[in-house]
Structure 1
């Protein structure tokens, strides 16, 4: 598969965090299983949201649910003990939610090889009323700091 070019990255420097791989992430072919990528993205979100929003008002504590995922696998990721890096940025914001873009990278390869690009739709949710809730101005301000371009999936560049 071809490497993802610079068009896959947001305009500014995205938020970047390390995420460890687990031995159980590996499939019979020695690659990280495609389903495990969702866990890697979730781990990056948990780490990122605590840093973005702070421990006191994390979206994870007030309620946020996943509405969709889209992942494009670019290259096979084989298990290794070193963590991978996940770049994460906001691609759009709407009334009750927002979308996050990601690039799953190998920080140790020349040119930081990209293994996958992805996007997740998230909706703020009030579990007491079982209804979505609107973003606050404070939420929007935090998300604006991390805004970037749309994820450049290969199918979208045709």
Structure 2
């Protein structure tokens, strides 16, 4: 049985014709681009856009487990769930859904982000805003 993780939201993204592979499925590399877009949008939405030369996230790990093929046309909904909250890191889990169907998981993504001072190249504590959002999500009833 799948453990329910605290939700940090979800984003909807269209599948474009050029996102397909030679056999008409969403290309495996596009899943990672969708994960990137979801992260960037989420950070912008919460007021922490990525700013080169400042403090922000770098990817320490990412993976995607493909469950079912996604075809064109489609709108993909990608969940953002908190899996682990560390001192300077955040591990997120992402479910890929198509349309309004939340019963069928098409892919399962994961990413570990570490907050760093880009200029110094060293990890720093998570921003207070991120920590507060994650702690609120953990405390919210599921």
1:24 equivalent in structure 2 = 18
The structure where strand makes up a greater share of residues is: 2
Q: How many residues align?
A: 136
> Structure 1 residues 48 and 76 mapped into 2: Cα distance closer, same or farther (>3 Å)?
same
1:122 alignment partner, SS class: strand
State whether structure 2 residue 56 is matched by structure 1 residue 69: no
Matched with 2:50 is 60
| Distance in 2 of aligned mates of 1:115 and 1:133 | 34
**Structure 1 spans left out of the alignment, 5+ residues:** 1-5, 149-158
Asked if residue 7 in structure 1 is aligned to residue 37 in structure 2, the reply is no
For 2:3 and 2:24, how far apart are their aligned partners in 1?
26
1:125 maps to which residue?
116
The yes-or-no answer on 1:41 pairing with 2:31 is no
Contact 1:26 1:33 in 2 (8 A): yes
Across the aligned residues of Structure 1 and Structure 2, the Cα RMSD in angstroms comes to 2.2
SS in 2 for 1:35: helix
CA contact (8 A) 1:15 1:146 kept: no
Once the two structures are TM-superposed, the CA of residue 108 in structure 1 deviates from its matched residue by: 3.9
Change (3 A) 1:8 1:107: farther
1:102 is displaced (CA, Å) by 0.4
Structure 2 residue runs of 5 or longer lacking an equivalent are none
